[in-house]
Amino acid sequence: MTEMFIQLNMMIALQVVTLGFIGGVLSGFIGSGGAFFMTPGMMNLGVPGVVAVGSNITHKFGKAMMGSKKHGEMGNVDRKMGFFMLLTATVGIRVAVWISTVLFAGGGDSHGASGSGAQEAPANLYISVVFVSVLTLVALSMLRDIISSAQSDAAGPSRQISEYLNRLKLPPMIYFPTADVKVSLWVVLTVGLATGYLAGTIGVGGFIGVPAMIYVFGMPTAVAAGTELYLAVFMGAFGALNYAYEGMVDLRLTLLLYLGSLIGVYVGAYGTKVVKEVVIRLVTSLIILLCVVSRAIAIPIYLRQLGWVNLDPAWDAYFNGASKALLFVSGISGAAVILTAVVRAYIQRRGVHATLAFTRKPAAVQPVA
């Protein structure tokens, strides 16, 4: 049986903590869980894809519990919406875990599979392909919306899909009181299924759930974020249960991720105060795109391991190195942009009198303090 749990030395541990910190900063900044960075990052360190997803979803569970309490106090959680989405999200997670487990178990028998890492190659390839496809769509739509809103006076991202679905009004329509929206049950269940499936496959659920709640359901942003976090608690718990049952959760990695992420998230959240919304969206989409390219670079490794392409095994190290370097460059650059904005705003703030008082004189207004 292949080694599912990597040997941890100080260097690798520090890298995992760094992954957690950068993921936390991005998570606090963007509002997602940060898994789009942490999951591929762990895979770059040699963690099998299924263990990376399982450990991250366990980490997400604990982190979401901490965050959802605050949102709940502020009345930003639509529990009714959360309940309905969870009905199918659990199905989505179960399907995702089943697929990943089957691929992982079947990897030893993969036709033509060769070399170390052959067992996890099918699962790694599957996770990477889903990651690349879904997040490419997300990043490109964000970039397209940024460009189109800069070029025209169109108010906000394109709502063609949501408007189409709203016109359909597929019964039964359900009213959600906290969010104050009426949505077709089928749409809610479908979004729940997609969110659960993606969370269970690549550990990323927020990128579907939150935009869907805002643009498809028409929920206020704060309620969408709060409800998603509430949902993440249960999805995280269910995902953690499933992956842990299959023996695919490395608690050491989860704890190391906590060390970084639970601090990073505060820094990232602070960054949203000092950076304009359009810059947040631009930085987010660019980081996601770089993460996507980073993951795509690693795909040839898995194709070779499966025997689907004929490559020199020595090249694995270069592919992995390039993938890892690009991922860390994107994450560190993103975190650096955020931290620079935070520091610059802090310095600027100190250089400006926080309250300037002016009293009108007959000719002009003169400063008095």
Q: How far is the CB of 321 from another protein (least distance, A)?
A: 27
Stretch that binds another protein, among 69-77, 292-300, 302-310, 327-335 (CB under 8 A): 69-77
Restricting to residues 102-141, which ones interact with another protein according to CB under 8 A? none
Restricting to residues 203-262, which ones interact with another protein according to CB under 8 A? 214-215, 218-222, 237, 240-242, 244-252, 254-255, 258-259, 262
> From the list 61, 84, 126, 131, which residue makes contact with another protein (rule: CB under 8 A)?
61
Stretch that binds another protein, among 65-73, 196-204, 296-304, 318-326 (CB under 8 A): 65-73
- Count the residues of the shown chain that bind another protein, applying the rule CB under 8 A: 72
> From the list 47, 59, 285, 326, which residue makes contact with another protein (rule: CB under 8 A)?
59
H-run or E-run covering 175: strand 173-176
Q: Quick check: helix, strand or coil at residue 180? A: coil
Q: How far is the CB of 16 from another protein (least distance, A)?
A: 12
Q: How far is the CB of 80 from another protein (least distance, A)?
A: 17
Q: How far is the CB of 340 from another protein (least distance, A)?
A: 13
> From the list 9, 167, 314, 356, which residue makes contact with another protein (rule: CB under 8 A)?
356
Per rule CB under 8 A, is residue 144 in the interface with another protein?
no
- Rounded CA gap, 167 and 162, in Å? 9
Number of other CB atoms surrounding residue 45 within 10 Å: 17
Q: How far is the CB of 282 from another protein (least distance, A)?
A: 13
- Whether omega for the bond prior to residue 172 falls within 30 degrees of 0, making it cis, is yes
**236 CB-near residues (< 8 Å, 6+ apart):** 57, 58, 60, 61, 62, 64, 199
Residues in the chain: 369
Rg (CA), the chain: 22
- Rounded CA gap, 45 and 108, in Å? 21
**184 CB-near residues (< 8 Å, 6+ apart):** 165, 168, 169, 170, 171, 172, 173, 174
Number of other CB atoms surrounding residue 177 within 10 Å: 10
> From the list 12, 15, 45, 65, which residue makes contact with another protein (rule: CB under 8 A)?
65
Binding mask 81-100 for another protein (x = CB under 8 A): --------------------
